[in-house]
A and B are shown apart, each in its own frame.
Chain A
Amino acid sequence: MVGGNGMKQRHANESTTLRDTVSQWWDDEWRADDSELDTLLSDVEGVRSRTRSYELIGSRLRGESLETRDLLDSINARLDEIPENERPGGGKVVSLDSARSWRHRRIWQGAIAASLFAAVTAVGLTLSTGDRAGIEPMQAEGPTENDRAVMASLNAQELPKDVSPAAVASNPQQSRVVQASTAPANASKLPDWATGRSNSGPDPYVVTHYRMASPEFGTTGPEARAATFDQK
């Protein structure tokens, strides 16, 4: 038991803010940030003394027994007997927050992996079947330095007599699918497969770019290039 002088001394040492906080916390009326819990955690003994008083006052007002015991010491003595590795936080503990973020990460990882798999599969199937009718030629602002270098290289090559030099669409907004037609008079005409008019295999063509873009990648993915020349 603590005498009246001891009580006054302890009151002087404890901040009114803490005692006020305990009163609200006891009534389930304390609205605090997680970090503010430290206010209570910093003085568990102070909280213990306050709550004992509040319990007695409330019990008396409600006409209940005053005989409930403070179990904290006996509970802590029992908890001390629990081996360290069996206590919360002693090993494999995952906090509520980190468990949520772990699940969150797993969902995103799964989504990205699925997107990547789908993209790679689509490109692989398209290239392997040769069916390019469904592929939209990329609309780009204009040839890059790399494009120009490739085209310069292609134009510089000595082509078979019946193959005209590749021509690049001059309009930057047009497709950069480049045709190497067997009919020089129709050099600017796109093949049927490229316009979607036919499902037949590719006519002689030169595809300089197919650039795969996906929101998951953020930027452009790897470029796939193919250059074939009709030999018929």
Chain B
Amino acid sequence: MSAEENDKALVARARKGDRRAFDLLVLKYQHRVQRLIARYIRDPEQVFDLAQETFIKAYRALERFRGDSAFYTWIYRIAVNTAKNQLASDARGGYMVSLNSGGSDESDEPMIEPEALRDGGTPDALAATEELKAAIDQAISDLPEDLRTALTLREMEGLSYDEIASVMDCPIGTVRSRIFRAREAIEQSIESLKGG
């Protein structure tokens, strides 16, 4: 099965009542959904609430998911509509909002700058975040060159394993292994810092 089919299989299981299947879908897409909503909403707390709301709506509407589109397309559409509804609601309540009329559901153009998820908070939280960043940076720089290159091509350039194999002139299995080993090494360095 492709990634899209994996998601549809998880949806099918969730529709039969398997909550673990829906958990996996949440784990896979929760961060992307939060970033998407943060393009529309400034308040971090509202972003988290709306991301939650997005998944609750999706769960309730699972039976209406026909599988014509990919699950992530569907959940992104719910997220965008949820964010837009919030903006409209805030506008009715007298808040000043920036509605970009050029935006569309499928557009990647930000409605507003995604400030909501910019690192911030209390001094302790800021310090913890800075420590985490430093640890990740250090772990990445400590990686062997081939592992770092594979991971960078994946995470920064968004290349598929097949494309990375072409770039690095190695088998696709080697790419898979390098990315996995790179992540394992970094994770060991940050495990005590990453929190929840």
Determine whether the beta carbon of B27 is less than 8 Å from that of A72: yes
**Contact residues, A162-206 vs B (CB, 8 A):** none
Tell me whether A90 and B17 are in contact in the complex, defined as CB-CB below 8 angstroms, given that A3-B192, A71-B52 are known contacts: yes
**Contact residues, A52-97 vs B (CB, 8 A):** 52-62, 64-72, 74-76, 78-79, 82, 86-90, 93-97
Determine whether the beta carbon of B48 is less than 8 Å from that of A88: no
Determine whether the beta carbon of A71 is less than 8 Å from that of B155: no
Which A residues lie within 8 Å of B120 (CB)? 67
Q: Complex Cα distance A55/B34, Å?
A: 12
Task: Pick the residue among B48, B56, B152, B161 that contacts A61 (CB under 8 A).
Answer: B152
Determine whether the beta carbon of A31 is less than 8 Å from that of B2: yes
Q: Complex Cα distance A120/B7, Å?
A: 48
Which B residues lie within 8 Å of A25 (CB)? 3, 6, 28
Tell me whether A74 and B17 are in contact in the complex, defined as CB-CB below 8 angstroms, given that A52-B194, A79-B59 are known contacts: no
Determine whether the beta carbon of B52 is less than 8 Å from that of A19: no
Q: Complex Cα distance A55/B1, Å?
A: 23
Which B residues lie within 8 Å of A145 (CB)? none
Which A residues lie within 8 Å of B22 (CB)? 79
Which B residues lie within 8 Å of A93 (CB)? 15-17, 63
**What 1/0 mask marks residues of chain B from 30 to 55 whose CB sits below 8 Å from any chain A CB?**
11001100000000100010011001
**What 1/0 mask marks residues of chain B from 1 to 26 whose CB sits below 8 Å from any chain A CB?**
11100101111111111111111101
Tell me whether A71 and B67 are in contact in the complex, defined as CB-CB below 8 angstroms, given that A7-B192, A27-B154, A54-B183 are known contacts: no
Q: Complex Cα distance A82/B18, Å?
A: 15
**Is A158 close to B, CB under 8 A?**
no
**Is B101 close to A, CB under 8 A?**
no
**What 1/0 mask marks residues of chain A from 1 to 45 whose CB sits below 8 Å from any chain B CB?**
111101100010000000110011111111111100100110010
Number of A-B contacts (CB under 8 A): 191
Tell me whether A57 and B155 are in contact in the complex, defined as CB-CB below 8 angstroms, given that A65-B117, A66-B133, A69-B48 are known contacts: yes
Which A residues lie within 8 Å of B34 (CB)? 68-69, 71
Closest chain B residue, CB of each to CB of A7: B191
**Shortest Cβ gap from B33 to chain A (Å):** 8
**Is A48 close to B, CB under 8 A?**
yes
Task: Pick the residue among A53, A69, A76 that contacts B23 (CB under 8 A).
Answer: A76
Interchain residue pairs with CB less than 8 A apart (24): A2-B191, A4-B191, A7-B188, A20-B180, A23-B183, A29-B176, A31-B1, A44-B20, A44-B23, A44-B24, A48-B23, A52-B196, A54-B183, A56-B190, A57-B140, A57-B155, A57-B190, A59-B31, A60-B137, A61-B152, A89-B14, A89-B17, A96-B67, A97-B12
